[in-house]
């Protein structure tokens, strides 16, 4: 499917690829519909607004959400942008998973993998012991495996307990995702002790 990029006015900048056969008005309406169904947008907008919604933690030194994968509908694997964690005490990965446009199964699925690096060059998977939340999947360092409709439309979080400076999120889509999966990921960085 050929696509066109549409910008949606939310509390955070969002760009979504939609079918290029749609008129401008239809494309905008489709993009808005997709955004409204994405917990990713709701969470990221809440974090960006500083409301603490979506289970965001509060820290004495403040928290900064950094997008690794901007909200978009994915049909293939996506490796997120590097997030430099230097100077931060806490690092929480937040995967924002919308409703898949395809029928999920053991052969059509999503795995959310976390990678880390000392030098922003070599990127091994994070060992399970260095994440507060993992699942058994194809690769270690996987915080979510979504292979059924009952499992999507969710926010998955995991604290990074390792010591490497750089983090990123890798969305691994197995099988054919014709209609795509609305996804995003951010890494929330915080300084100071947690405020309860």
Q: Where are the alpha helices (DSSP H) in 61-131?
A: none
Strands (E), 10-138: 13-19, 63-74, 78-79, 83-84, 90-97, 109-117
pTM to 2 decimals?
0.72
- Give the chain's domains with CATH numbers: 59-190 (2.60.120)
The pLDDT value given to residue 57: 52
Q: Which residues contact 137 (CB under 8 A, 6 or more apart)?
A: 111, 113, 145
Q: How far apart are CA 116 and CA 143, in angstroms?
A: 14
pLDDT in tens, 40-94: 555 555 544 444 444 445 555 567 888 899 888 999 999 999 999 998 889 999 9
The pLDDT value given to residue 38: 54
Percent of the chain with pLDDT over 70: 66
More reliable by pLDDT, 137 or 54 = 137
Contact 98, 40 (CB under 8 A): yes
pLDDT in tens, 144-180: 999 999 999 899 999 999 999 999 999 999 999 999 8
pLDDT of 3 over the 80 cut: no
Q: What element of type H or E holds 33?
A: helix 24-36
| Mean pLDDT score of the chain | 80
């Amino acid at each position: 499917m050929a696509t066109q990029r549409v910008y949606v006015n939310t509390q955070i900048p969002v760009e979504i690829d939609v079918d290029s056969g749609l008129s401008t008005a239809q494309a905008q309406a489709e993009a808005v519909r997709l955004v409204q169904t994405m917990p990713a947008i709701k969470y990221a907008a809440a974090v960006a607004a500083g409301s603490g919604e979506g289970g965001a933690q509060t820290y004495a030194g403040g928290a900064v959400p950094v997008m690794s994968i901007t909200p978009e509908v994915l049909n293939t694997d996506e490796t997120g942008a590097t997030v430099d964690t230097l100077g931060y005490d806490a690092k929480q990965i937040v995967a924002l998973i919308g409703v898949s446009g395809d029928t999920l199964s053991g052969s059509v699925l999503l795995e959310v993998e976390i990678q880390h690096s000392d030098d922003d060059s070599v990127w091994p998977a994070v060992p399970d012991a260095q994440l507060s939340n993992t699942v058994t999947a194809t690769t270690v360092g996987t915080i979510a495996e979504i292979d059924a409709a009952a499992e999507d439309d969710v926010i998955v979080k995991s604290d990074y307990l390792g010591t490497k400076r750089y983090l990123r999120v890798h969305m691994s889509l197995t099988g054919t995702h014709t209609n795509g999966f609305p996804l995003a990921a951010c890494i929330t960085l915080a300084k100071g002790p947690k405020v309860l």
